[in-house]
Structure 1
Amino acid sequence: MKKIFLADHAGYCFGVKRAMKLAWDELENRENKNIFALGPLIHNKQAVEKYEEKGLITINDIEDIDSKNVNPKEVIIRSHGVAKEVYDQANEKKLEIVDTTCPFVKKIHELAKESYEKGKKIILIGDKNHPEVIGINGWCDNKAIIVKELKELFDIELDYSVEYVVVSQTTMNEREFDVIIDYLKDKNINMVVNNTICSATKVRQQSAREISNKVDLMIVIGGKHSSNTQKLVSICKESVDTIAIETKADLIDFDLGKYDTIGVTAGASTPDWIIEETIEYIENGVI
């Protein structure tokens, strides 16, 4: 019989759980409102589909909302957060705003805004294409220096006459963050470092790392576009064979028979029901 180890910290984090509940409550009580989500609520296709079946309308841009429509309209700001200009646009359109931005992300917005207004330069460690990073940058007039890997700093000329404030995407890999900070410290620039990696991200990564050291295979469950999920995949691959899946259906053609011990972890946007179904499949091999 296979031994299955589920990470202590897997699945919805506090911020995602909060956002999903707020959004669901709005859908439950929407009456004749049109409720829009600015971008997918979370990076999990299966979870988002359930909300769209309930009536949620996912859009990519605030301009996609027709202001001529007479029905009351509501826009949900997802947990990743958005730039300040998005709030301004929503207010101009007289949209009701349901702000589900993760409180940890909201604090980074405030830090970036206050620091920038004081004349400091922002160094933002993260993926420039990720919605969370785009949102944070929008609170410092889109002037942040954004780097995801150390090598990206090599071509950047640092200014020794200003003070830098360093913040990070909440799902950044802790080790990669530390490498970049060590490099900046060696440059002797005037800077204040804020490790804004979410505590849930830290313990999730550590839990995945611990389990991957004692199993033959790691299965990481999460959306293909989920940043924190892909970081878990990278961490697990450092130690053991690792496969990334969205649902149990992705395991159908994979031979689990040669593995005696299997570890399972999941990204912060993965619902419990997907984790449970995956474990049941591993145990029974039934879709």
Structure 2
Amino acid sequence: MKVIRARYAGACYGVQRALSMANDVVARGEAACTLGPLIHNPQVVDDLAARGVSVACRVEDVADGDVMIIRSHGVTPQVRDAAASRGLAVLDATCPHVARAQKAAENLARQGCHVVVVGEAGHPEVEGLTAYACGAGGAVDVVAGPGELPDGLCDPVGVVVQTTQMQEQLDAVVEALRARGLSPVVKDTVCFATRQRQEAAAELAQTVDAMVIIGGRNSSNTTRLAEICAKACERSFHVEAADEIDPAWFRDCRTVGVTAGASTPEDQIQAIEDVLRAL
């Protein structure tokens, strides 16, 4: 069985940057914790915990003297203020693309726009985007698609999107707003790395007998990849680790494609590819 990796797969710049920053803290021997999981990859989070980087759910849970690492998904301005009021040492590992989306949401609100955030309600990145817009005085709605747009919207409307969403979701929301006669100000903040991985996964899934999508089940971008692959390849399997691979999935397969979310390090991809090649 031939194993083919997608042209673009695995950890993006923002994730690699966050991991490098956390590893530097470990190397310096400093006590540290991340506010929420550093990235949406359980194996990576467990490895950091084993090396002394714990996870705190709230600023109040951060021990005095610990370095508080802001996760790659970013945090709300209120969280930053709470950390500052305690005098905590803060290491900001927010993905630069997420920071750009936060600034876009804030600017739209400052321009007087009703801000529409296209993304998953409750996701930490979306909570941050919402908070930045609200903090700038804007009214905000979070929608997963055009069917969730509220009634009564009127110009000016601004649109910003969670960085790991599919381009089609953003386009559908913008089209629905324009169909209402509105003229939305659109900030396309879909991450280029996310777009590359989605396009490469869709391309590969059309040419192979089966697809394996690697990454945390709590990872938004990996979940999007799994959805994209499933549309093009009936035998698509989302796994987090090599021990989940079932040889029966690949009976009569001549080719299997492999892709991985932007929160998936290279060693995890290699481990699963090794298992697949050994079948």
The separation in 1 between residues aligned to 2:123 and 2:12, in whole angstroms, is 18
The separation in 2 between residues aligned to 1:278 and 1:136, in whole angstroms, is 35
C-alpha offsets along residues 171-194 of structure 1, whole Å, 9 cap, x if unaligned? 101112211111111112132111
Q: Give the structure 2 partner of residue 22 of structure 1.
A: 21
TM-superposed deviation, 1:244: 0.5
The separation in 2 between residues aligned to 1:177 and 1:118, in whole angstroms, is 21
Instruction: Kindly provide the amino acid, as one letter, of the partner of residue 150 in structure 1.
Output: P
Give secondary structure in 1 for the equivalent of 2:72: coil
1:128 to 118, 121, 124: 121
The separation in 1 between residues aligned to 2:105 and 2:38, in whole angstroms, is 24
TM-superposed deviation, 1:263: 0.4
Q: Give the structure 2 partner of residue 6 of structure 1.
A: 5
Q: Which moved more, 1:214-223 or 1:134-143?
A: 134-143
Q: Give the structure 2 partner of residue 49 of structure 1.
A: 46
Overall identity of the aligned pairs, in %: 33
The separation in 1 between residues aligned to 2:190 and 2:126, in whole angstroms, is 12
C-alpha offsets along residues 124-161 of structure 1, whole Å, 9 cap, x if unaligned? 000011111011111122742100122112xx12332x
Give secondary structure in 1 for the equivalent of 2:81: helix
2:261 to 259, 267, 274: 267
Q: Give the structure 2 partner of residue 195 of structure 1.
A: 188
Quick check: 1:107 aligned with 2:123? no
TM-superposed deviation, 1:17: 0.6
Q: Give the structure 2 partner of residue 140 of structure 1.
A: 133
TM-superposed deviation, 1:118: 3.1
C-alpha offsets along residues 235-283 of structure 1, whole Å, 9 cap, x if unaligned? 0111112111001111146432321110000001111111101111011
Aligned residues: CA RMSD = 1.4
Instruction: Kindly provide the amino acid, as one letter, of the partner of residue 151 in structure 1.
Output: G
The separation in 1 between residues aligned to 2:276 and 2:151, in whole angstroms, is 51
TM-score by length of 2: 0.95
Quick check: 1:34 aligned with 2:47? no
Instruction: Kindly provide the amino acid, as one letter, of the partner of residue 213 in structure 1.
Output: Q
The separation in 1 between residues aligned to 2:205 and 2:249, in whole angstroms, is 19
Instruction: Kindly provide the amino acid, as one letter, of the partner of residue 252 in structure 2.
Output: K
The separation in 2 between residues aligned to 1:61 and 1:253, in whole angstroms, is 42
Q: Which runs of 5+ in 1 are unaligned?
A: none
TM-score by length of 1: 0.92
Distance 1:255 1:114, change over 3 A: closer
